[in-house]
A and B are shown apart, each in its own frame.
Chain A
Amino acid sequence: MTANHTYETNIRIPFSFIIFGLLAFFLSQILLFLSTRQLSTGEMRLPVVLSAVHLLVIGFALMTAMGAMYQLVPVVFLTPIWNESFAFIQMVVTSLGILSFSISLAFNIQMAIFSGLLLTCGIVMFLWQMFMTLKKQKKRTVITLFVGTALICLLLTIGLGLTLAYHFWSGRQLIDHDLIFKAHILLGFSGWFTLLIFGFSYKMVPMFSLAHHFSMNTARYVYIFYISGLVLTFISFITANDRLLSAGLQLMAVGYGLFAYHMFAILKKRMKKKLDKPFLFALLAIVFGVILHIAAAGFSFESEIHSRIFSIIIYCYLFGWIVLSIIGYLYKIVPFLWWTHRYSKKIGKEAVPTLKQMINEKWIVMECCLFVASLIGMIAALASSSTGLFYLAQGGMVLFSGLFACTIGSVLLK
Chain B
Amino acid sequence: MEIKAKILEKLQNVLDPELGINVVDLGLIYKIEVKDGTAFILMTLTTPGCPLHDSIAGGVKRALRDIEGIQDVNVQITWNPPWSPDRMSEKALRQLGFLS
What residues of chain A have their CB less than 8 Å away from a CB belonging to chain B? 1-4, 6-8, 71-72, 75-78, 203, 206-208, 210, 212-213, 271-274, 336, 339-340, 343-345, 347-349, 351-356
Contacts and interface: CB of A to CB of B under 8 A. Distances in A.
Nearest to A139: B48
A210 B56 CA distance: 17
Nearest to B60: A348
Nearest to A354: B20
Contacts of B48: 78
A75 B55 contact: no
B55 to A, nearest CB: 4
B19 A203 contact: no
Interface string B84-97: 11001000010011
B61 A354 contact: no
Interface of A: prevailing SS: loop
Interface string B5-48: 00000100111011110000000000000000000001000111
Contact of A347 (B15, B46, B64): B15
A329 to B, nearest CB: 12
Contacts of B79: 1, 3
Given A273-B97, A347-B62, A207 B50 contact: yes
Given A1-B79, A274-B97, 19 more contacts: A4-B57, A4-B75, A8-B55, A71-B51, A72-B51, A75-B50, A207-B46, A208-B18, A212-B83, A212-B84, A271-B93, A271-B98, A344-B59, A348-B63, A349-B62, A352-B15, A353-B17, A354-B15, A354-B20
Interface of B: 10, 13-15, 17-20, 42, 46-64, 75-80, 83-85, 88, 93, 96-98
Given A339-B17, A347-B62, A78 B49 contact: yes
A41 B58 CA distance: 58
Contact of B78 (A1, A8, A71, A273): A1
B56 to A, nearest CB: 7
Contacts of A7: 51, 53-54
A272 B77 contact: no
A76 B50 CA distance: 7
Contact of A273 (B13, B49, B51, B96): B96
B77 A348 contact: no
Contacts of A203: 47, 49
A212 B85 contact: yes
A1 to B, nearest CB: 5
Contacts of B46: 207, 210
In the A-B complex, list the 5 residue pairs whose CB atoms are closest, starting with the nearest.
A347-B59, A348-B59, A273-B97, A348-B63, A344-B55
A351 B13 CA distance: 8
Contact of B47 (A4, A206, A339): A206
A201 B97 CA distance: 23
B50 A347 contact: no
A81 to B, nearest CB: 13
B3 to A, nearest CB: 17
A354 B78 CA distance: 24
A202 to B, nearest CB: 10
A272 B63 CA distance: 26
A271 B17 contact: no
Contacts of B97: 272-274
B51 A77 contact: no
Given A78-B49, A273-B98, A348-B61, A2 B54 contact: no
17 contacts: A2-B77, A4-B57, A8-B55, A75-B49, A206-B47, A207-B47, A207-B50, A212-B83, A271-B88, A272-B96, A343-B55, A345-B58, A345-B62, A348-B62, A352-B17, A354-B19, A356-B20
Given A3-B79, A348-B62, A8 B54 contact: yes
A75 B78 contact: no
Contacts of A206: 47
Contact of A348 (B20, B49, B58): B58
